[in-house]
Amino acid sequence: MTTPRARAVLLPAACAFALAFAAAPAAPARRDAPPARGASPAPAIEEHLLANGMKLVLVPRHLSPTVAGAWVARVGSANERPGITGISHLFEHMMFKGTHVIGTRDYEKDVRLIEQQEALQDSIRAELSALRAAQRRGELDDMTKPESKTPRMRELEKRFDGLVAEQRANMVKNEFNTVLQRNGATGINAFTNNDMTVYFETVPANRLELWFWMEADRLRNRVFREFYSERDVVYEERRLRTESTPTGKFAESFDAVFWDASPYAWPVVGWPSDVASITRAQADEYYALYYQPQNLTAVLVGDFDPKAALALAERYLGAIPPGARPAPEMITMESRSLAEKRFHGEAETNPAATVRWHTVAFTHRDAPVLEIVDGLLTGPAGRLRRSLVLKQGVATSARAAHEPLKYEGSFEITAEAKEGRTPEEVEQAIYGEVERLKSEPVGADELQAAKNRYLTAAYRQLNSNFLIGLRYAVSEGRGDLHGAERIEAAVQGVTSEDVQRVAQAYFTKEGRAVAIWTRKGGGAEDPELAALPPPARERARAGLARIRAASDPEKLQQMLDMFDQMGAQMPPEAKPAIEYLRGKAQARLRELSTPKP
């Protein structure tokens, strides 16, 4: 489950939606010292490096008889290459398929069926290669259309589907999750982003040994069952979350425009042609490189004795053999931007302007200053709302987002145009606020308020073992286990001069890309949709595109059932979107059910 753009120091938005180790370790590092003035009080933690190279982070907190367990593989879409984009996200799915003993009735039969499937896939790949060549010659309009398949391809796929059905009959579906759930585990999930893949769950304190055994088993003895059918599931997920949403494909294109050299240019979910073509051999090779102990860190937060937890780590996760060679370093760096880039997207969305600048990585010394710039601009009391929305009246909403990733960073401002105003007017208003940051010192009270809001958000994470665990896992994935604490400590020391210096250094014309968003065809938006509050409108707009594209009455009825279930569970601010989508789905269902003359 990939994450949208979010404040990288805090937790990925996907987590809110659910969202190692045979060693005689060196003496553990401890962090018991009082925090720096103004920083959040970081819990006391221990860090251990096991003999196989895996890292273990222990954070004992005896507030409830539970333990939040997470482990991070320091691999994401930035580690991929053309041809296998999306493979990191595919692993997120495959790692729940089971092991030699979990998820199967007969492991030997599993092995035989997988080998037979692979032999058929070799023949299918040959057919696909011929179709690609035919499309390049202009003999096919679109090789992915069902009618483009050759008779041999259809026969091969039929035989393959038979093997998949036989394999599924031999599987114990979702057994990995079921075993944990029967032992009291909650929040079992994972996410993938540009820099990392993180797996997590919370278990009762008396089931900590089970957690170690389960995680060690799936790391050492994983089995990629249903590999090709699950690859198709990921492809469908991409279609639903990206291609069927009003701006999904446009956002991908804008990313590709913004980045020149960096692998952040391609989507975490992968390009369609790559996702549909990843092989099991490529997956095995990728796993051996990036899921080896030297590239993994486990984090435990909760009610446990550190010595006992370390002994369990040594017994289970420490028994995993180290990798044969280190994971390769990602060395491709973004080139210095020489000119402004412009992008014009016509989509089913309200007119808006987005300006994005190149900035710095998570570990960079200017990252804390950019967090404060974000805080100055965003929120109910932020400059963007006060100026663009309330004073100038050119926008209905406006926000900033600082995203310091592991290797590069960006800072983005987006504002939606008010009716009767143009995206170009909004763009100029954005520049006005940016120029103010460059030329006018920020007042002491305004600066302190931005710091307070940032640190308040950080403090709130400390109420939850789960959030603390993800906080360390995300920081580790971004290149610095203690990065969140470092930034929080540095934020309090940010000065008005720092804000001016950073704004002048990074918010340049040459360093920016600009997206102008206009409504497709220039037509007016549905008045009912336009009348919704901005947050509900964004939720409804994404669902509306899927409803309009639906052609199966049964699937529409399933959507309606889902809306009924969601309506009772969603917060009040989301209910207008649910009600709007329910009405549109009902209308579309009537349209499909009415016989055509």
Would you say residue 434 lies in a domain?
yes
Of 126, 122, 150, 121, the C-alpha closest to 232 is 121
Q: Are 353 and 427 in contact (CB under 8 A)?
A: yes
**CA–CA dist 199, 15 (Å, integer):** 10
Q: Average pLDDT of 329-334? A: 94
Q: Average pLDDT of 417-434? A: 95
> Is 341 a residue whose pLDDT tops 80?
yes
> Is 564 a residue whose pLDDT tops 50?
yes
> Is 273 a residue whose pLDDT tops 70?
yes
> Is 61 a residue whose pLDDT tops 60?
yes
Look up tokens 């409108």; give the residue.
Answer: 537
Report residue 117 as tokens. Answer: 């499937």
Would you say residue 351 lies in a domain?
yes
Is the same domain home to 285 and 197? yes
Is the same domain home to 278 and 412? no
Q: Which helix (H) or strand (E) holds 592?
A: helix 575-593
Handedness of CA 471, 474, 477, 483 (dihedral sign): negative
**Domain final position from 519, 547, 572:** 519
Is the same domain home to 502 and 565? no
**CA–CA dist 534, 522 (Å, integer):** 20
pLDDT tens for each residue of 519-529:
876 555 566 77
Look up tokens 């009246």; give the residue.
Answer: 393
pLDDT higher at 511 or 553: 511
Report DSSP state, residue 104: B
**CA–CA dist 212, 316 (Å, integer):** 6
Q: Residue 30 has what pLDDT? A: 35
Structure confidence at residue 41 as a pLDDT band (50, 70, 90) = low
**Domain final position from 261, 284, 319:** 319
Q: Residue 549 has what pLDDT? A: 65
Q: Residue 538 has what pLDDT? A: 63
> Is 441 a residue whose pLDDT tops 70?
yes
Is the same domain home to 313 and 367? no
> Is 574 a residue whose pLDDT tops 90?
no
pLDDT tens for each residue of 165-212:
999 999 999 999 999 999 999 999 999 999 999 999 999 999 999 999
Q: Residue 424 has what pLDDT? A: 96
Look up tokens 């993180």; give the residue.
Answer: 198
Residue 80 makes CB contacts below 8 A (sequence gap 6+) with: 86, 87, 88, 263, 266, 270
pLDDT tens for each residue of 499-516:
999 999 999 999 999 999
Alpha-carbon distance values, 532 to 119, 394, 400, 527 (Å): 54, 18, 22, 9
Is the same domain home to 298 and 178? yes
Would you say residue 39 lies in a domain?
no
User: pTM here?
Assistant: 0.81
Alpha-carbon distance values, 375 to 382, 399, 446 (Å): 7, 10, 10
pLDDT higher at 39 or 356: 356
Is the same domain home to 277 and 385? no
> Is 595 a residue whose pLDDT tops 60?
yes
Helical packing angle, 107-136 and 280-290, nearest 10°: 110
Q: Which helix (H) or strand (E) holds 77?
A: none
Would you say residue 220 lies in a domain?
yes
> Is 562 a residue whose pLDDT tops 90?
no
Is the same domain home to 451 and 551? no
Look up tokens 């100038």; give the residue.
Answer: 392
**Domain final position from 484, 519, 554:** 519
**What is the layout of strands, in order, in the sheet containing 395-404?**
341-347, 512-519, 352-358, 409-417, 395-404
Residue 126 makes CB contacts below 8 A (sequence gap 6+) with: none
Single-letter residue type at 385:
R
**CA–CA dist 264, 362 (Å, integer):** 14
Q: Residue 303 has what pLDDT? A: 97
Single-letter residue type at 380:
P
In this structure, the strands spanning 296-302 and 55-60 are parallel
Q: What's the domain count of the chain?
A: 3
Report DSSP state, residue 336: P
Report DSSP state, residue 240: I
Q: Residue 567 has what pLDDT? A: 62
Would you say residue 84 lies in a domain?
yes
Interior CA angle at 474 toward 257 and 196, to 5°? 55
Report how far apart the first and last C-alpha atoms of the chain are (Å, whole number). 44
> Is 26 a residue whose pLDDT tops 60?
no
Report residue 435 as tokens. Answer: 């120029």
**CA–CA dist 108, 110 (Å, integer):** 5
Q: Residue 369 has what pLDDT? A: 98
> Is 432 a residue whose pLDDT tops 90?
yes
**CA–CA dist 203, 187 (Å, integer):** 9
Would you say residue 160 lies in a domain?
yes
Q: Average pLDDT of 343-360? A: 94
Would you say residue 483 lies in a domain?
yes
Of 61, 191, 19, 70, the C-alpha closest to 463 is 61
Q: Residue 253 has what pLDDT? A: 95
Residue 422 makes CB contacts below 8 A (sequence gap 6+) with: 351
Look up tokens 């960079």; give the residue.
Answer: 364
Single-letter residue type at 154:
R
Handedness of CA 361, 486, 62, 452 (dihedral sign): negative
Is the same domain home to 151 and 257? yes
> Is 372 a residue whose pLDDT tops 60?
yes
Would you say residue 8 lies in a domain?
no
In this structure, the strands spanning 296-302 and 512-519 are unpaired
Residue 594 makes CB contacts below 8 A (sequence gap 6+) with: none
DSSP 376-409: HHSSTTSHHIIIIIIIS--EEEEEEEEEE-SS-E
Q: Residue 582 has what pLDDT? A: 82
The mean of the pLDDT values for the chain is 88
Structure confidence at residue 545 as a pLDDT band (50, 70, 90) = low
pLDDT tens for each residue of 206-258:
999 999 999 999 999 999 999 999 998 898 888 888 887 788 899 999 999 99
Coil vs helix vs strand at 102: coil
Is the same domain home to 179 and 263? yes
pLDDT tens for each residue of 102-142:
999 999 999 999 999 999 999 999 999 999 999 999 999 99
Is the same domain home to 474 and 539? no
CATH number at residue 226: 3.30.830.10
**Range of the structural domain that residue 195 is part of:** 70-244+252-319
Is the same domain home to 348 and 495? yes
Is the same domain home to 131 and 194? yes
Report residue 162 as tokens. Answer: 């038979």
**CA–CA dist 361, 194 (Å, integer):** 13
Interior/surface letters 518-548, b for 16+ CB within 10 angstroms, e for the rest = bbeeeeebeeebeebeeebbbbbbbbbbbbe
Alpha-carbon distance values, 275 to 44, 76, 144 (Å): 42, 15, 13
